[in-house]
Structures are given as C-alpha cells and as structure tokens.
Amino acid sequence: MSGEKKTKKRRFEKKTGRTVMVVLFSLIVAAVTVIVTLALISGIGSLSATTGKVVADEEKIRAYEEALAASEETEEVTEEAEDPDLEKAQQVLDTMTLEEKIYQLFITSPDQLTGRIGTEKPEELTEKLEAAPVGGLILYEANVYSAEQVSALLDGVQETAKIPMLLGIDAEPGHDEGLSAFGITDDSEPAAVFGDNQDLSGIKAFGTKAGADIKKVGFNLSFAPVSDTLIDLGNTEIGNRSFSSDPMTVSSMVREMIEGIHKSSVATCTKHFPGLGSTSSDTDRGPVRCARSMDELREAELIPFRTAIETETDMMMVSHVQYPAIVEGGLPASLSPIMIQEILRGELGYQGVIITDSLRKRAITNEYSSSEASVLAIQAGCDMILLPSDLEEAVNGIRAAIDSGDIREDRINESVLRILLLKAKYGLLPS
C-alpha cells in the first residue's frame, strides 16, 4: 500500500472512530437520562400518611440534573464536531508539516517573492511559491496592469498553491492601488467625504460594489475598512482615509462598509487597531509614540473597532504605534501582548484573525530585525505577519524559536487553525 493510501486510510479511520465515539457517547448519555427520569418518576418520593405531600428524594433530583447537563454538553460537542468549516480546517492542519504551518502565518507580495518590482505574471511566481508556500499575497499598484492581467495572475498563483491563499488588496474609497485606473473598480471619493456627508447608504453601496469588483478578478480579501478616528487633524498617515474625527461617525461608516463587502462574499480586514489617527507622526518614517491613556482610547478610538467586531470583521490589522501609558518598554501595539491578548482578545472579545501592519515600515525596521519582529508578533498573539522585510529570515526566526521552546508548536497550530477556518468560511478549502 502506498504512503498516500496509508495516510488516507489512517485519516479515514481516525475520522470514523471519532464519529463513532461521539454517537456512542450520545446514546449512553441519552439512555442514562431516560433511566434516571423513570426512576425519578416512580420513586421520587412517597405520599406521607399524615400530610399527603410528596417527599422528594434529593439525590435522585441531583442525579437527574447532572444527567441532563451532561446531555446538553454532549449536544454542544456533537454540534461542534459537525461544523463543516472546522472539520475542513482541522483536516488540512493535520496534514501540514511544521514548515508549511510557519509559512501559512505570512502574507507577502509578488514583488517580495521575485525581488522585482512590477511582477505581473503567474509563471514568475510558480517556483517561488513552491519554496515559500505563504498563507496569502497582497497586490499593490505596481502589480496592476489590466483586469485580464490581474485575473490571470491571481488565478495562476491560486492554482500553484498547495493550500489556497488569501489574495488581498487595499480596496478603500479613494485609495484602490490603481484598480479604478484600469476599470476594475469605480473611482470614488475618499472616505472623509462619505463621513462628512453622513452617507451611510453610499458607503454600503461602495463596499458592495468594490467587493464584487475585486472578487470578479480573483481577490478574496479586502484590506478595508480603515477604522481610524482622526483625533490629530495634523495626521498625515491616515488623513482623508479616515471617515471622521467623530468616533460615532466612523463607527457607523465602518459597520455599513463591512456589511457591503460581506454581501459580495469577500473577507474584510479592519485596520489599524487601536488607531493611527492620534498623532502627527507616520509609522512609515519611524517609531511613533502616542500619549493617550487606556480610558481615552475607550472613549474614542476603540469605538469603531468594537463596531467592526460586532459586525464580524474577518481580520484585524494592528498598528505599530507605541502607547507608553499602556505598554511599557517601547513595544509597538503590533508586538504587545497587552494590546493583543489583554485588550483586543480579552476586553474586546475578538476571535478572528489578527495580522500585523506591514513589517517593512520604519517603525519596525529601525528597531527590529525581520526575525525579531516576527517572533515577537507571534508571541504577542498575532496570527499573521504582513510583509516582513526579509521573509526567509522571518521564517527562520520563528522556526528557531520553536526549536528553542520560545514558541510552542501548539501556539502555531492555534493561529494556523484560525487562518484555515477563515479560508474555509470563504470556500477556499477543498470539500
């Protein structure tokens, strides 16, 4: 018997055994419940000769309640076991090597893989993706020449991928990486215009149309909406990409845009948690510090991100801004366990995929190597890493951290399963 057939046989036996065990356990609990119920009915108490009241048997009542609780728990386990997306994701995870798991943590660009600006053809990437099977690609204006070319590029790389990739682009209003120049999407006013006009129906229509347009040529992920509140009006990194300086206006716009994109069956990546609009500095140019406190963030910047979570955004991008009043040691939000685990996962309850902002920004490169930043991001709780300056160095750094015990493989599995669940949700994983 070939190795592939043995693997399929073991996978089938494992799946079948798990299913049989769940069914048997359900039947046993159901039988116990019936027995206890009949016993309770027949012997729960006796009529007192003097009072005519039923004297309850507390132990039987307690046994009945425990059996009922166990039955409910079994139903929950069975429902989870029957989640088709979870089953698909777990099946793929079970077949992956450690090397494949590590690469799944990264979203890079065609140009980074080829080392040439303006990569436009899928055949330029075939060998690169076989050697570096990343979790996703992001395209920029340099990779966009026409609708036909973009479609051929995306279809080609997806055919190459052993595990289908997340394929994304910045499809923001007024900021679309050249898509509108070639008629792939419609030209649009910037986000600030929608916010100034309180045009909720307009931004929802934009999200729906932009989502449908990018999906038509092969994208499955929109790196949008920008959910930053423009606290500092001198901010140049966000500027008119923000809907407003009013967090409630931003919040309303974010909800409508996410719902619009989702109507086109495209995943959303809300950015840049907890906000890039509170300083006049730019993380593209170097480290950025923000003096705002946690209470101030809760009262303003975090409001749109809470709304994005309630609207079930698929991914959350974390910025490289430092918050010394919240996080000691100069760690940017993207590398901070406090920001990611305590606040984003804990306080806000976000369970989707968390990705860093681009690690090519000088806020990172001036302070950390690709290896250091990538290891810190995973340790902090990020699931994916966007555009490390040196992909191979980043991969080697995570592998070394696993070998040394600084990162557990279970921690990698946790993130990869979350990534695969997202891919399953949008029909990217095989049946």
Torsion of Cα atoms, 227 then 233 then 237 then 239, to 10°: 70
pLDDT value, residue 30: 52
Helix, strand, coil shares of the chain, percent, nearest 5, are: 55, 10, 35
Q: How many whole angstroms separate alpha carbon 304 and alpha carbon 258?
A: 12
- 237 neighbors 283 (Cβ within 8 angstroms): yes
Q: Which tens digit of pLDDT belongs to each residue from 169-190? A: 999 999 999 999 999 999 999 9
Q: How many whole angstroms separate alpha carbon 100 and alpha carbon 161?
A: 11
Q: What's the distance, CA 327 to chain centroid?
A: 23
Q: How many whole angstroms separate alpha carbon 171 and alpha carbon 214?
A: 8
> E strands along 261-367, which residues?
267-273, 315-318, 353-356
pLDDT value, residue 66: 63
Q: Name which of 30-39, 96-105, 280-289, 365-374 the model is least confident about.
A: 30-39
Q: Which tens digit of pLDDT belongs to each residue from 11-60? A: 444 444 454 344 444 555 455 444 444 444 444 343 333 334 333 455 54
Q: Which tens digit of pLDDT belongs to each residue from 207-245? A: 999 999 999 999 999 999 999 999 998 898 999 999 999
- % of the chain surpassing 90 pLDDT: 79
Q: Which tens digit of pLDDT belongs to each residue from 316-343? A: 999 999 999 999 999 999 999 999 999 9
Q: How many whole angstroms separate alpha carbon 426 and alpha carbon 177?
A: 23
Q: How many whole angstroms separate alpha carbon 194 and alpha carbon 188?
A: 10
